[in-house]
Structure 1
């Protein structure tokens, strides 16, 4: 859950880094092309400087929540000031029919609420903003002509529509995120964070089908840790679990882009790579040495035994794994800490 929240927070920070400069540029261009002056110009300049300041804060270690609160306070103050100025200056004093162009920012405020808060608090916050923006208009309604009243009604209706749309988008994103999280957990080994057997089975099936259709070669590297039961018996299962987690990181650090790695079960692991026997043998040998040279802490030095097989016509997922499994046990029987392929064998060095 913490990982999901951090991923969402990082995503928001990236979005803000892109969106804020765009908004600053648009607002600056609007001010340059408009004839705003006096209080109206000052209000927009404060908003522009505030957004630029928030963008600079995104590159610091300051909590994203603090930056979001700053943006929310800035946006709320801006809207309230502009509504008051629009009603009592633009409409009542100058006779304008609308509040002004600032209303185009309303959708962003509604979305910001749902980025900052959970679903219900965001809905309540938008409702509170609606009330706060409605209050200044109440005394002015009797003094407004029909076009001005219609403009205000459209403005407040727009707030409600934007809130509903933001609520719907939030729900949609939340459900999609939950589905993605469930899918990841369904295919992920909880202990090591790598693929689990269910996902490996899917990979194998697709690799075998592709091999039958196109002749594409792939290799299966099947390996497990030597004397792992002794580690659990001597140091406890907690240490054993830590060894498995470290092993996963060591192996991941040695794999090339496109290599598929997962936990088959217990201390057994599988790698699928789109290479023939010679290349996959070199990979297995590199992994064997990397594992053997790694310091696993309390458990000390640990070795692994490897078996590898390459797909061939008529193979099934089970048959190609079975050959790799049998060769892995040949490595065990030959003294462990070895790699055994169909024609290539490495020994303990």
Structure 2
């Protein structure tokens, strides 16, 4: 299961945990104050127990689909029993002009169907429910009063409209999810989850433009893993990839809320921070120590060399990157595992 799907499942679980107690309380109150035929009352009671049981399953982290199918199945049985009771007992025998408050569960069942099933399956389930609700009314249609007919038609039209809306909302959600996925692949490095070079170029252009317009300061930190080729040669590319992932996670844990982080290419990474040179140097030194003291598992200890450059008036992204790159390679030439903010040549 992908991370997006897991996140969606977790969101659904939280919604169910919040909503189910409200539905259970409403149903319990309905059981206490509403008189109905024994079968419908029994089904209501079973539905109440099922809702409480499903809440327990969700709370104890049972698979979500188990609770969803149980709730959907019992709700469908209750809805069909309720409409039969309303039609043949309350309307035909007792002369009641309106359907009962069970119709409030119709949108819940439609939404639940689209949450659990694939789109086409959900549509088929909803229209099957519609047919099952229409069928018992056909033989007695002529015996119903006009207000009773109107109440039934309102129910049928409502179910159709709810299904129609859920169908197109489902399409809209899927398309937005696809757009988010496309945007993520366009901007995110698949291995480390950091921003890719394309996204970094956009960030730098935006930062330089803002600095020219508003006079704001920022710095960049460019760093490269030391002897990374040796890690790949001695331990394999799988271990090398794992080192890069761990390193990216480690760096992210040290960054502030306004810091931007990306993979510049290979084992080279970049940070864009709102700090001026002194603050950026402190951040780079903190990262150097964190990386150097971290146990990367099979690869052991790994170090990195850093170059720090602050934005200057009239700078371009290229000039800023060149300064940081020169300082990073100065760190490499002078022993590695160090931070350079300004070289003697500058």
TM-score, normalised with respect to structure 2? 0.92
CA distance in 2, matches of 1:327, 1:207: 21
Number of residues paired by the alignment? 343
1:198, 1:250 → 2: CA distance?
22
Q: Give 1:149 shift.
A: 2.6
1:261 to 2:274 alignment: no
**C-alpha separation between the residues in 1 aligned to 2:24 and 2:181?**
35
What's the CA shift for 1:136? Answer: 2.7
How far has the Cα of 1:103 moved from its partner?
Answer: 1.0
- Confirm or deny: 8 A CA contact 2:327 2:343 kept in the other structure: no
Matches within 5 A, 1:180-219: 180-219=180-219
Shift of 1:122: 1.0
1:322 aligned to 2:322?
yes
5+ residue gaps in structure 1?
345-349
How far did 1:30 drift? 5.8
In the alignment, what sits opposite 1:289? 289
Matched residue, 1:148: 148
Give the aligned partner of residue 54 of structure 2: 54
Moved more, 87-96 or 249-258: 249-258
Greater displacement, 80-89 / 228-237: 228-237
Matches within 5 A, 1:38-187: 39=38, 43-187=43-187
Residue 140 and residue 261 in structure 1: after superposition, are their counterparts in 2 closer, same or farther (change >3 A)?
same
Q: Which stretch has the larger CA shift, 134-143 or 240-249? A: 134-143
Asked if the contact 2:221/2:307 (under 8 Å) is kept, the reply is yes
Contact 2:330/2:343 (CA < 8 Å) preserved in 1?
no
Tell me if the contact between 2:37 and 2:85 (Cα under 8 Å) persists in the aligned partners: no
Q: Which residue of 2 aligns with 1:305?
A: 305
1:150 to 1:247, Cα distance in 2 relative to 1, 3 A: same
TM-score (norm: length of structure 1): 0.91
SS in 2 for 1:302: coil
What residue is the counterpart of 2:280 in the other structure? 280
Post-superposition offset of 1:76:
0.5
Unaligned runs of 5+ in 2: none
Moved more, 87-96 or 136-145: 136-145
